[in-house]
Amino acid sequence: MKIDINYEQLKNRCTEDIESFNILGDTVNTRDGKYIYIDRGGKVLAVAHLDIITDILGWSSRSYPRRPSFEVVESIGEYGVKTIIRSEALDDRLGVYIILDLLPKLGLTYDILLTEGEEIGCSTAAHFEAVKEYNWLFSFDRMGDGVVLYQYECEETTEMCLKHGFEIYEGIYSDICYLDHLGVAGFNFGTGYYENHSSNSYAIAEVITGQVEKFLSFWDEYRDRKVEVSEVQWSFYRYHWRRLWLYLNPSETKKKRKKRERDWEEGEVRCDICGRFALSDEFAIIDDMYMVCRECQLTSVFNCEYCGRSVLYRHILYAPYGELICDDCAYRYGVRATNPES
């Protein structure tokens, strides 16, 4: 089957405002932003995030135009002629295009979840509650080729990917890491883009089509097969640090966390910093996990100047020029940061 990329359609997806996607499905607002759910009667769930790195780093207000750039060029090298797509928005608007436009054009039917907040580690996928069961999940939100399995890596998922020519790589996290509560496996396929967190972001069309070809084979065999994952495989390199925090703190089990959320609704909460109990209207939820009272917010909570999130003092660092940066952004963007207490 010949796979043609519609570059004009891809350009539109890369340059559209997030709000323009609202009309595509049911929009649900959460404390971390919104997600858009599109029910197409499928047995598989496709996931992509709408937020892009330019929004976080503020490039659009500095040396770049407000809308991300987009161009397609031919490049001649030692391996022949390649079609290069350049845009700061390829992560993950290229995945959005593949899921919303390219694969449906090839006859695939599945449900779709569009999220935001993925680039700052607060994906709204965490708030998604499925109204039905799915066979498995997938996304196209990975540089290069191959596939990443995160906590879903097991003998079954590994064999499925290798059988259809996907090399398995290590990854840190993406939207599907927040969806293990659905009880089925997730696959994050390479999308053919490179240097995605920089102004030099580009994709190679031939890699994109090669990945899609392999995915079509994968889809034909497994679309009706339910791939359940009963035990989460924990690894720092495959899982986001906030999930790892929950794993390393046995007292913060899902059951106890739900109890704390019920306490929040009933009106009395214990501060995770000072330990005192107070009415819930004096508290804020910091970093999606800590209950912090009003007094401790003044002394123990800081805003990261890179992503804008409010984080506890224990997760804040100094960037080279004195900016406050959270440890997540320091790791993600390779910033040589120092501990304020050192």
Quick one: 197 and 293 in the same domain?
no
Q: Cα separation of 130 and 277, whole Å?
A: 34
Q: Would the pTM of this model clear 0.75, i.e. be above it?
A: no
Residue 242 pLDDT greater than 60, yes or no: no
Quick one: 268 and 123 in the same domain?
no
Residue 289 pLDDT greater than 90, yes or no: no
Q: Is 84 part of a structural domain of the chain?
A: yes
Least confident of 11-20, 64-73, 191-200, 292-301: 64-73
Confidence bin at 126 (pLDDT 50/70/90): confident
Quick one: 169 and 302 in the same domain?
no
Which pLDDT score, from 0 to 100, does residue 237 have? 33
User: For residue 28, what are the domain limits?
Assistant: 7-222
Q: Is 182 part of a structural domain of the chain?
A: yes
Least confident of 6-20, 206-220, 266-280: 266-280
Least confident of 188-192, 198-202, 236-240, 311-315: 236-240
314 vs 64, residue with greater confidence: 314
* Average pLDDT taken over every residue of the chain: 80
CATH label of the domain that carries residue 63: 3.40.630.10
Confidence bin at 10 (pLDDT 50/70/90): very high
Quick one: 290 and 194 in the same domain?
no
Quick one: 176 and 82 in the same domain?
yes
Quick one: 215 and 110 in the same domain?
yes
Residue 266 pLDDT greater than 90, yes or no: no
Quick one: 254 and 199 in the same domain?
no
Q: Is 276 part of a structural domain of the chain?
A: yes
Q: Is 56 part of a structural domain of the chain?
A: yes
Residues 160-183, mean pLDDT to the nearest whole number: 89
Q: Is 340 part of a structural domain of the chain?
A: no
Q: How many domains does the chain have?
A: 2
Confidence bin at 97 (pLDDT 50/70/90): very high
**Could you tell me what percent of the chain has a pLDDT over 90?**
45
| Backbone phi and psi for residue 55, each to the nearest 5 degrees, phi listed first | -65, -35
Which pLDDT score, from 0 to 100, does residue 257 have? 53
CA Rg value for the chain:
21
Quick one: 274 and 175 in the same domain?
no
305 vs 174, residue with greater confidence: 174
Quick one: 115 and 22 in the same domain?
yes
Q: Is 264 part of a structural domain of the chain?
A: yes
Quick one: 92 and 184 in the same domain?
yes
In contact, 150 and 239? CB cutoff 8 Å: yes
Quick one: 89 and 154 in the same domain?
yes
**Could you tell me what percent of the chain has a pLDDT over 70?**
75
Single-letter residue type at 65: P
Residue 65 pLDDT greater than 50, yes or no: no
Least confident of 26-40, 215-229, 321-335: 321-335
Which pLDDT score, from 0 to 100, does residue 332 have? 64
Q: Cα separation of 70 and 89, whole Å?
A: 8
276 vs 244, residue with greater confidence: 276
Q: Is 227 part of a structural domain of the chain?
A: no
Q: Is 341 part of a structural domain of the chain?
A: no
Quick one: 264 and 206 in the same domain?
no
